[in-house]
């Protein structure tokens, strides 16, 4: 436990010392918030068909909180782990009896740290600029946030475990991230997408994770169906990570 805590704290400091990752993780969702908020404002669709009948910025805010989580997990984490393996850092950790649980656990803790900071940042900006509504059911938003962060961290660890090199992790991570961003509910509303685009979005975990956070945020209650899907993604990723993880 002591080592897990120390390792997580060191990893948080390392994240803060890496300005490019910081900017990408925190600034990109904020930029999207400004672009979407600037284009669509926060007036609900009068017919109530698009954006689930709520204001666009209200709709997008939980989506961008999940996008921050997705960005750390799919872009940041796999590159981090593959670089650790390539450079012999994992080898060094392992030789000193640092366990796989400490390595994975520290990454989950770092993900939480970044997700919480990113979530607060987005919410504060949205509140100041767009006069959004805060979460309707915070008691359900918080567990949804926790599940999403753990499930995505597991997926990121899985990518880091199976992708052979840092370059591969960069390429695969960025492609997955942008496809999910555009088609998975953080870009144009699902209602305006073609059937094929909807289908691609539907097989991506981001789409379901966004609904899992959006539903209690907007007052639609707890969505057990998407909770099942997000959990399944997380559990499968965790099992495969343990199976395929290589120290060197």
The answer to whether the CB of 54 falls within 8 A of the CB of 218 is yes
Decide if residue 246 touches another protein (CB under 8 A): no
Decide if residue 164 touches another protein (CB under 8 A): no
Q: Which is nearer to another protein, 167 or 228 (CB)?
A: 167
State the Cα–Cα distance between residues 145 and 16, nearest whole angstrom. 22
Decide if residue 165 touches another protein (CB under 8 A): no
Quick one: which of 30, 40, 94, 236 contacts another protein (CB under 8 A)?
Answer: 94
Stated length of the chain: 248
Decide if residue 18 touches another protein (CB under 8 A): yes
Q: Which is nearer to another protein, 43 or 99 (CB)?
A: 99
Decide if residue 87 touches another protein (CB under 8 A): yes
Decide if residue 14 touches another protein (CB under 8 A): yes
State the Cα–Cα distance between residues 167 and 209, nearest whole angstrom. 27
CA 67 vs. chain centroid, Å, equals 5
Cα→Cα distances 175→58, 71, 127, 179, 180, Å? 27, 11, 31, 6, 8
Contact mark string toward another protein, 67..86, x via CB under 8 A = -----------------x--
Decide if residue 23 touches another protein (CB under 8 A): no
| Number of CB atoms found within 10 A of residue 221's CB | 11
Quick one: which of 47, 97, 195, 196 contacts another protein (CB under 8 A)?
Answer: 97
Contact mark string toward another protein, 206..225, x via CB under 8 A = --------------------
Q: Which is nearer to another protein, 84 or 217 (CB)?
A: 84
The answer to whether the CB of 56 falls within 8 A of the CB of 36 is yes
Quick one: which of 49, 91, 199, 228 contacts another protein (CB under 8 A)?
Answer: 91
Backbone phi and psi for residue 129, each to the nearest 5 degrees, phi listed first: -95, -40
Question: CB of 104: closest distance to another protein in angstroms?
Answer: 15
State the Cα–Cα distance between residues 82 and 96, nearest whole angstrom. 19
């Amino acid at each position: 436990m002591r080592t897990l805590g120390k390792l997580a704290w060191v990893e948080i400091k390392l994240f803060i010392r890496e300005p490019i990752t910081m900017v990408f993780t925190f600034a990109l969702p904020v930029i999207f918030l400004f672009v979407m908020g600037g284009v669509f404002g926060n007036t609900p669709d009068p017919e109530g068909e698009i954006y689930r009948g709520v204001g666009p910025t209200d709709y997008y805010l939980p989506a961008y909180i999940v996008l921050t989580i997705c960005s750390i997990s799919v872009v940041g984490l796999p590159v981090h782990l593959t670089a650790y393996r390539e450079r012999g850092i994992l080898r060094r950790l392992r030789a000193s009896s640092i366990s796989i649980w400490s390595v994975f656990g520290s990454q989950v803790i770092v993900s939480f740290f970044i997700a919480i900071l990113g979530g607060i940042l987005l919410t504060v900006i949205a509140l100041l600029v767009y006069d959004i509504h805060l979460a309707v059911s915070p008691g359900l938003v918080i567990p949804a946030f926790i599940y999403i962060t753990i499930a995505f961290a597991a997926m990121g660890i899985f990518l880091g475990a199976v992708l052979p090199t840092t370059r591969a992790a960069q390429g695969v991570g960025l492609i997955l991230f942008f496809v999910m961003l555009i088609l998975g509910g953080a870009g144009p509303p699902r209602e305006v997408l073609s059937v094929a685009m909807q289908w691609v979005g539907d097989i991506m975990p981001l789409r379901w994770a966004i609904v899992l956070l959006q539903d209690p945020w907007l007052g639609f209650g707890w969505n057990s169906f998407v909770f099942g899907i997000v959990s399944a993604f997380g559990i499968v990723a965790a099992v495969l990570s343990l199976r395929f993880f290589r120290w060197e």
